[in-house]
Amino acid sequence: MSEQIDPQNTPVDFDPDAMRARYRQERDKRIRQDGNEQYIEMSGDFSHFVDDPYIETAIEREPLIEDVEVLLVGGGFGGLQAGARLRDAGIEDIRIVEKGGDFGGTWYWNRYPGAACDIESYIYLPLVEELGKIPSEKYARAKEILSHARAIGEHYDLYRGAIFQTEVTGMTWDDEAQRWLVATNRGDTLRARFVAMANGPLHRPKLPGIAGIQDFEGHTFHTSRWDYEYTGGGPDGGLNKLADKRVAVIGTGATAIQCVPYVGETAEHLYVFQRTPSSVDIRGNTPTDPDWAKSLEPGWHRERMENFNALVSGVPQAQDLVADGWTDLIGKTMRLFQEAAQNTEAGAPSVAELLEAANFEKMNEIRALVDEKVGDAEVAESLKPYYQMFCKRPCFNDQYLPTFNRPSVDLIDTDGQGVERITSKGIVVAGREYEVDCIIFATGFEVGTSYARRAGYEIVGRTGETLTEYWSKGLRTLHGLQSHGFPNCFIMSGSQGAFTANYPHLLEECSTHIAHILSHARAHGFTTIEPSKAAEQEWVETIIQKADSGLGGLGGKECTPGYYNNEGQENPLAKQASSYGGGSIRFFKILKEWRETGEYEGLEFGRPA
């Protein structure tokens, strides 16, 4: 096994067996019986954590009672991309209901210092060619991404019909009227012919259920509701009000990796409470070269998105247009995977062996980087991730690791156990109390809970059954987008759809598909669209069959717990809720070919009753 590893990157004392044992040990000590239940829902006593700190003027208005052709839930990229493609299809009567004060979704909420995309912005930002936009940097910052979201809203005239600061509270199908009755927290009744739900996969912040969390008397907030009034400064840093504050950040996921350097720069003292270290690779951000931007030919955006998607799916390309940590990380592994699959010689290493070797090699590189960047050997050791590379979301940042060289910054490694207790004055780990003035929760978003809970409302279908009830024995959709018994309703999520590191690419494909189906319905005077039970069943079976053919290691049960693997707990319904195991390229092709046949196979269309 070890001879498959590139000797250049192999530490002298590297022993694959010992490493396997170490990975297993790191996993085992983190497994907890309470799984997703360890987190607290931000409601009741905790609901203030989700108050919107960014609203400048609270909207006062009378409840709306009206008919609408298409209602989109969510004004993030999903709602905006769907809105754009529906406009392209000539649909004028669109309402977007958005709980924030403006468009932007993830980028409306996540304004913490250092927030930026870490999928290259030239492919991450949607509709850039349509808007004539070239992002200013390889990895654009949150502010620029948010203003692009607003620009999409302007360009496609989606502000007309948008209702902000409004949350959907329920959705019920009225079979007689052939419309969805959509209720909101503003008392609105919107009668929508079609609905598309673009709630976002990671939008409901969560808190850790740490004993004593309510006892803390200092200041607290979640990273997705950054309190600049308290910290001073802005998304580019300069958090000057922290100069006399002792601050705790709980969590070391992708969000913490980005904001910790800025908090560490100004806080009188910063304690970073770590349960599991992230893998932090080189970022290498650069400003956009204007000559390169001028050289781009029409169609460049799609070509670049597809090039990236192909490389991270292991499909060789003549050129790596994006050439970043993702194409290096996934591309290398997938190439090895495919080469091995073709090597049928006796004694050739198996696919699993080669994948593991590539994984060890990459993680050795990541661990070596920690030693290079962090002065104190003990701190460096604590910051090293000991798990396979796709157990946790890989991070890319050049400032995070060196932050721990600051004398005013301490890493409090909880050895996989998490914070023990919160008191009125601070945080307790291993029996020692760290007194702080402020706790910042960088503890992420709900993933493993039910769709309705994360959406914040229930959907009642044709038979009176809720979507939660319908999916209680496993997710059921056609192409991840529609469910039988829930006519005229589209769900924009990756479950039973595709997994791609570049999420807006998936949203683009879903938007095109939805707009195509709705155009057909309008052109023929159909007022209902519903997948047949048989077509849905066939897709469910395809998903289950293909569920095991993915990357391997991505959220596998051998992984340290986290939201990629349902906190390490067996979930008998997980296979059925997974994305299409044949990969996103194949999935997008399935959708395209389905559209091109013009047969709308598996969908049943109805006319006015």
The residue range among 401-409, 413-421, 580-588, 598-606 that interacts with ligand NDP, by the rule CB under 6 A, is 413-421
117 belongs to the binding site for ligand NDP (CB under 6 A): yes
DSSP 216: -
The residue among 486 and 564 lying less far from ligand NDP, judged by its C-beta, is 564
Q: Which stretch binds ligand NDP (CB under 6 A): 55-63, 73-81, 110-118, 157-165?
A: 110-118
Tell me if 166 contacts ligand NDP by CB under 6 A. no
Nearer to ligand NDP by Cβ, of 411 and 529: the residue is: 411
- Residue linked to tokens 């009741």: 44
Q: Pick one of 81, 220, 255, 309: the residue that binds ligand NDP (CB under 6 A).
A: 255
Can you tell me which of 83, 114, 126, 418 binds ligand NDP, judged by CB under 6 A?
Answer: 418
Q: Which residues of 321-347 are buried (b: 16+ CB within 10 A; e: fewer)?
A: bbebbbbbbbbebbbbbbebeeeeeee
Lookup result for tokens 């991404």: 145
Q: Does the footprint of ligand NDP cover residue 275 (CB under 6 A)?
A: yes
Q: Does 271 bind ligand NDP (CB under 6 A)?
A: no
Nearest-10 Cα torsion for 40, 43, 44, 49: 90
Within 10 Å of residue 229's Cβ, how many Cβ atoms?
8
Can residue 265 be called a binding residue for ligand NDP (CB under 6 A)? no
- C-beta separation of 183 from 195 below 8 A: no
Using alpha carbons, select from 322, 403, 339, 328 the residue that is nearest to residue 366. Answer: 328
Burial degree of 18 (CB within 10 A; 0-12, 13-18, 19+): exposed
Q: Which span (113-121, 163-171, 182-190, 576-584) binds ligand NDP, by CB under 6 A?
A: 113-121
In the block, residue with structure tokens 């490389």? 311
Which of 307, 308, 490, 278 minimizes the C-alpha distance to 384?
Answer: 278
CB of 511 to ligand NDP, least distance (A): 20
Task: Please state the closest distance from residue 278 (CB atom) to ligand NDP, in A.
Answer: 7
Residue among 216, 311, 345 nearest 502 (CA)? 311
Nearest-approach distance from CB 145 to ligand NDP, in angstroms: 10
Ranges within 520-579 binding ligand NDP (CB under 6 A):
562-563
Which pair of tokens denotes residue 378? 């003990």
Q: Among residues 80, 123, 254, 507, which is the contact residue for ligand NDP, using CB under 6 A? A: 254
* 419 is a site residue for ligand NDP (CB under 6 A): yes
Look at residues 232, 180, 202 and name the one whose alpha carbon lies nearest to residue 77: 202
CB of 134 to ligand NDP, least distance (A): 20
- Is residue 279 part of the contact set for ligand NDP (CB under 6 A)? no
The length of the chain in residues reads 609
Question: Taking the complex as a whole, how short is the minimal distance between the CB of residue 547 and ligand NDP, in angstroms?
Answer: 21
Residue 303 phi, psi (nearest 5): -60, -40
Three-state DSSP class for residue 448: coil
> According to CB under 6 A, which one of 81, 165, 184, 252 is a site residue for ligand NDP?
252
Which range binds ligand NDP by CB under 6 A, 236-244, 364-372, 439-447, 478-486? 439-447
Range in contact with ligand NDP (rule: CB under 6 A) among 71-79, 270-278, 336-344, 525-533: 270-278
Q: Which stretch binds ligand NDP (CB under 6 A): 12-20, 71-79, 269-277, 315-323?
A: 269-277
465-477 residues labelled b (16+ CB within 10 A) or e (exposed):
ebbeebbeeebbb
Using alpha carbons, select from 37, 23, 211 the residue that is nearest to residue 567. 37
User: Minimum distance between the CB of residue 30 and ligand NDP, rounded to whole angstroms?
Assistant: 6
Torsion angle of the four alpha carbons 249, 253, 257, 260, in this order, in degrees rounded to the nearest 10: 0
Q: Is 195 helix (H, G, I), strand (E, B) or coil?
A: strand
Among positions 443, 493, 495, 512, the unique one binding ligand NDP when judged by CB under 6 A: 443
| Residue 258 makes contact with ligand NDP by CB under 6 A | yes
Q: Please say whether the beta carbons of 68 and 117 come within 8 A.
A: no
Handedness of CA 100, 105, 106, 110 (dihedral sign): negative
Kindly determine how many residues on this chain lie close enough to bind ligand NDP according to the rule CB under 6 A: 27
In the stretch 371-400, what mask flags binding to ligand NDP with x, by CB under 6 A?
----------------------x-------
Residues near ligand NDP (CB under 6 A): 116-118, 202, 208, 210, 250-256, 258, 273, 275-276, 393, 414, 418-419, 442-445, 562-563
